[in-house]
Structure formats: structure tokens, C-alpha cells
Chains A and B, each alone.
Chain A
């Protein structure tokens, strides 16, 4: 294929999942959700052709479970596993390194690349004093050319009853209305299932929105979640 050819536009999506020890009882829900996502995308090949998906797990450090991939090429989803602590800093530092390299690779393949989207899911407070705020600023600052849109989701101990963590969830998102926490009283397994559904819909409809030449990231908030900014 000639290098003069444009292969069209793609949207990189990063799913960044909390793999801290406290996720142990719920990680199965997330893995089920990822398998459903893969199944749904296989039915939506036109949308799938425009999305590239990556799965990162963070705890003390970051494990890349899926390098940014065309999901049509992926036969089985990797499994997340609970381990260690909750270092937001590790996650943001990893994205800051990873995203420009991924964007450059897609461009060298002939694609035009839309601003990446990050879905950040956590069930707890960040490690104290790990400097995540600075790492986060470096990632989302507009001086960073490939700065992504970040959507953040709090479940488990980071649900709506935890006002301190709600503030963090808002701080992680690049817009106040990109930040959600599981509603009080929502069982964590249910919240994760709803989150996964919402992630899947977002991936499918992002492909369709690109098909439509739209510059918007279509996203339906998960059921049983509330906007974190509303937690006072």
C-alpha cells in the first residue's frame, strides 16, 4: 500500500483500571465486561475499524494488558488481576509516555488520529504523597500536544459516600461532567457491570460518530452513577 494513502481517522481509547488489592472481589465483573465489549465490537465492524483500544492496569505500577489494538485483531481479551496499592501517579506517568508513541505509530501507518480518550476507573484513594497531581497536570495540560480527554469513574470505596475521593475523581477528569461515582448503596459488582456497558456503548458510538465526521465523544453515563461534582 502506498505511503501516500490516507487510511482514515481513528480514535485511541485507553481503559485504565485500578488493580489494587481491594478490587479483588470485583475484578471478575470487569473481565466479563471487557469480553462483552469485544463481542459487541465484533458485531459493529464498521465502528470497530475506527477505534483503537488499550487496556492498562495500575496498582503500584502499570501493567499493559493490551497494547493499543484494532479490536478486530484481538481474539481474547486479557484478564485483569487485583494486586498491590493504588498509584495514580504511575498511571498518569505511563499514559504520558505511551500516548505520543501510540499516536506516532498510528500516523506512521497512515492514519489520522483523533484526540485520545482515557477511561480511568478506581475504587479508592490514591497513595498518599505519590505526586499524582503533578503527573496528572503534565498529562492533561494543553502544552502536551497529545493531551487526552480523561473520563473518571469511582466505585467501591470511591463511591458517592466518600466526599474526599469524589473530589479526586473530579480532579482526574478533564471536565467536571466527565467525572462519575457510583451512587450510594450501589453494589460494586453492579456498578462495574454498568460501567462496562457504558464503556462498550461509548466505544461503539465513538466509531459511529467518527463515521459521521463528528468531533464529539459520545458517552452515556452508566446507570447507578452520579456526577462526582455533585457530591458536596
Chain B
């Protein structure tokens, strides 16, 4: 790598101002308090029946979970996107690309600046902000995807929605975060049977690629019985240094505990409270054994906290029924031709100012009430982290359109699914995990 993106990277000993509780986030009418939920209910010892105690070793993988490390697009070492002098103005660029459509009010220095009076045609042309014009030029420089006619396609850049994130090559993961086994940038999984199909991807966000942090999201998907699937999607809370380990333990524990439960009870409903409580305990155990923390939920929370959204899905002739639980701000949606309907979680989009007090495992919610929903053939159940949920918003915008166009009425190839999820949109650079489940019409 050249000098690009170097500035500011050598963060020395950052003095952290307390944020959660009294920091940046506030929400309408309430001061950030400590995250809700309880730590006291987490068993602080191995109080889980051995029959429900799934394998925790990282070397053990559920048989049906395939991990494929997918490398990032080829480096664009000669791409001048960042270093080019962008300060020339080219009024003809304004408004001639999608990225420039935002327009927006003029944002220029005031006081001491000589700018043409409002209404001046030159000024109007310049009012499309520099950032938007840069984005437009950035887009023009990107090589378009090419289909080579023999099934091959060349793709060097992500799908762009609106203004893109600048092009850069990921840096190596910092030593601080290389705790635990090798952690690829991207994990993709996919399979299907006559009555359903799933596509799943967990990707490192552009922010973590840029800063050398690992993917803190994870997922686990398992068929626990005939026509019965359990999905877990987790998002390590970034204030905890090794939260990627917590995300992995939580996701895998949940699906394995659910599978054990299914075997023992021959298919009754999952006792989510017990599964989630034992997952919290597994995180405490993992933090203690792998990181040497004290074996308490409080100590574990500081290093391995993670959100969770999980679903127990039963397929039948009429589609699928899902029972969904969530801890923290990961979410679940049902996508139909009418749009995205939120089933669980997500963030409060009405809050005055953003709140960052994410509550996650091992902190247990005071109440865990599963949401049930029916998914008809032709509709898609989605479970995702906020890296997907935040840019999706209500689902009625451009990101929603990208996914409804791509997922309704068709099932994308696994790599196409991951490529979609890797879309580039300014300011949205969190890790993204999405599991999509299609119940299929049974013949």
C-alpha cells in the first residue's frame, strides 16, 4: 500500500471518553443509561446439562457449515481515486450521474469567502457538493462488471448504491485482533431442498477492512431435523476487543443447542430462554478459557459482547413458520412484493439523535418473547445485523430496491448474494451479515 489512508492510522493510546451512557448517543427524551438487561441471570458456572452442551472448540465445525474465504476484489494500485487532486470544479458533472442527484443545500464556508450571490447560475451549478461530484467521478473510473459469455464474469468493484465508499485495499488484521483461529473476510453458505433454499453471507465492513479489524459479525445455519432449520446471526459489539470470538461462540452455540434440544425432545418448540441463557454462559466460558478473563458475565461482556437474532423455521406445504428471538439491534424482516416488513429488532429510526447503547449477550434481556411469523412461498425471510438493517432503513429506499429486485422471484447464486450484500454506500461501513430463506412451493 502506498501512503493512502495512512494518516490517523497510528492511533497511539487513545484516551476514550465515556460514550455509552453519557457520550455521543442520545435518543428522544431519554438519556442513555446502561444497556438494558441483566447480567445476574447468567449462570457463572457450567450449569448447563451436558446433553445440551455443544462442542465449543473452534476446530469443530457443524458438518453442514462451509466456510469459504473470498478474497477482496483485485487491488487497484494505480487507481488514483484518493490521491488525485479533486479540487478542480467541473460544473458539467453536476447532476449527470445518479450519485449527484442528492443535490442538497449549498455547504460552503461562509464569512470571508467570496461566493457568487444566490441565484447565480454558476453558483447553482456548483451547489452539487464537491463530495457528490467526487463520488460521480469515482464511479466513472470504476470498471463495469463484464460478462464474458462463457459463464465467467469479471467484477472488480462492489455494487454501488448512491454515493460510493472510496476504493481501497484492505490492510492486514492487526495483531491485537488475531486472537483465535483464522478469520476470513467473508463467509458464504448456501443450500436448498425441494421445499426451501437458503443463501447466507457474513462480510467484513469497509470500516474494518480499512482499519485492520476482523469481521465481528458471524452466523450459523443448521438443519436440526426434517423440514426444520435454525439460523443464528450475531454481531460482536465493537467496544469489546475480541467481540468477534463472542459472535462466533454465540452463533454456533445457539444452533447446536437447538439441534440438541430437537434430538432430545423429538421436535418440540425450542426453549429460547434456556438456549439464549446457555449461549451467554458459553461466551463467559470462552472468554475465560481463551482470553483468561474472570469467569463472570461482567468480565466477559467487556471482551466478547454480541447481539443475536435467531430463528427456528419449520417448512411445510404452505410455506414456512418462523419463531424469532433477538437480543440487541440485529433484525429480521419478511420481504414480499409489498416491501420489507420488520419482524424483530432493528434500531429506533425515530430517535432524535442516534443511540449507541447496544445491549448484547452475555447481558440477558429481562424478557425474551419470540415473534412468530408465516412466510409464504414467494416471500423471503431475512435475518441480518445492523450493517444490513441500518442502510435498509424502512426498505423503501434504494437499498431496499436493490434487495427486493434481486431476491424476489429468484434465488441468486451464493456468490452473487454475497456480492450484493457487499454493496458500497457512503457512511455505511459496518460488517454485514444476512441470511435469506425462501420457502418453495411444494410439488
Q: A11-B24, A68-B107 are in contact. List 4 more A-B contacts (CB 8 A).
A: A46-B5, A69-B109, A70-B107, A75-B87
Residue of A nearest to B236 (CB): A213
A152 to B294: give the CA distance in the assembly, Å: 38
Interface residues of A, CB < 8 Å — how many? 68
Say yes or no: A216 contacts B129, CB within 8 Å. Answer: no
Say yes or no: B8 contacts A212, CB within 8 Å. Answer: no
Q: Among the interface residues B107, B129, B393, which one has the most CB atoms of the partner chain A within 10 A?
A: B107
Chain A residues whose C-beta falls within 8 Å of the C-beta of B356 in the assembled complex: 114, 213-215
Tell which of B23, B101, B111, B399 touches A64, judged by Cβ atoms closer than 8 Å. B111
**Which A193-230 residues have C-beta < 8 A from chain B?**
200-201, 204-205, 208, 210-221
**Which A118-137 residues have C-beta < 8 A from chain B?**
none
Say yes or no: A204 contacts B7, CB within 8 Å. Answer: yes
Q: Quick one: CB contact mask for B180-217 with A, threshold 8 Å, 1 for yes? A: 00000000000000000000000001111011010000
Say yes or no: A218 contacts B429, CB within 8 Å. Answer: no
Q: Does A49 contact B (CB under 8 A)?
A: yes
Band of interface residues on B? 35 or more
Question: Which 6 A-B residue pairs are closest in the complex by CB-CB distance?
Answer: A215-B356, A8-B427, A216-B19, A211-B207, A5-B397, A4-B396
Say yes or no: B396 contacts A2, CB within 8 Å. Answer: yes
- State the main secondary structure of chain B at its contact with A: loop
Chain A residues whose C-beta falls within 8 Å of the C-beta of B391 in the assembled complex: 6, 8
Chain A residues whose C-beta falls within 8 Å of the C-beta of B105 in the assembled complex: 105, 109
Task: Tell me how far the C-beta of A223 lies from the nearest C-beta in chain B, rounded to whole angstroms.
Answer: 10
A43 to B210: give the CA distance in the assembly, Å: 13
Task: Tell me how far the C-beta of A62 lies from the nearest C-beta in chain B, rounded to whole angstroms.
Answer: 11
Q: Does A9 contact B (CB under 8 A)?
A: yes
List 17 contacting pairs A-B, 8 Å CB cutoff, sorted by A. A2-B398, A4-B397, A43-B4, A43-B7, A46-B165, A72-B130, A76-B109, A112-B354, A177-B17, A204-B8, A205-B11, A211-B429, A212-B208, A214-B239, A215-B357, A218-B14, A220-B11
Say yes or no: A65 contacts B131, CB within 8 Å. Answer: no
Chain A residues whose C-beta falls within 8 Å of the C-beta of B7 in the assembled complex: 40, 43-44, 204
Task: Tell me how far the C-beta of A4 lies from the nearest C-beta in chain B, rounded to whole angstroms.
Answer: 4
Chain A residues whose C-beta falls within 8 Å of the C-beta of B208 in the assembled complex: 212
Whether A215 touches B131, Cβ cut-off 8 Å, given contacts A40-B8, A204-B8, is no
Chain B residues whose C-beta falls within 8 Å of the C-beta of A210 in the assembled complex: 427
Say yes or no: B207 contacts A77, CB within 8 Å. Answer: no
Stretch of B25-33, B71-79, B318-326 with 4 or more beta carbons under 8 angstroms from chain A: B25-33
Say yes or no: A208 contacts B211, CB within 8 Å. Answer: yes
Task: Tell me how far the C-beta of A134 lies from the nearest C-beta in chain B, rounded to whole angstroms.
Answer: 22
Chain A residues whose C-beta falls within 8 Å of the C-beta of B386 in the assembled complex: 213
Say yes or no: B23 contacts A115, CB within 8 Å. Answer: yes
Q: Does B6 contact A (CB under 8 A)?
A: yes
Task: Tell me how far the C-beta of A126 lies from the nearest C-beta in chain B, rounded to whole angstroms.
Answer: 23
Whether A178 touches B25, Cβ cut-off 8 Å, given contacts A1-B162, A113-B354, is no
A96 to B211: give the CA distance in the assembly, Å: 35
Residue of A nearest to B394 (CB): A4
Residue of A nearest to B235 (CB): A213
Whether A5 touches B398, Cβ cut-off 8 Å, given contacts A49-B426, A66-B109, is yes
Q: Quick one: CB contact mask for A1-42 with B, threshold 8 Å, 1 for yes? A: 110111111110000000000000000000000000000101
Task: Tell me how far the C-beta of B117 lies from the nearest C-beta in chain A, rounded to whole angstroms.
Answer: 17
Q: Quick one: CB contact mask for A83-112 with B, threshold 8 Å, 1 for yes? A: 000000000000000000001010001001
Q: Does B46 contact A (CB under 8 A)?
A: no
Chain B residues whose C-beta falls within 8 Å of the C-beta of A64 in the assembled complex: 110-111
Chain A residues whose C-beta falls within 8 Å of the C-beta of B111 in the assembled complex: 63-66, 78
Say yes or no: A9 contacts B129, CB within 8 Å. Answer: no
Q: Does B274 contact A (CB under 8 A)?
A: no
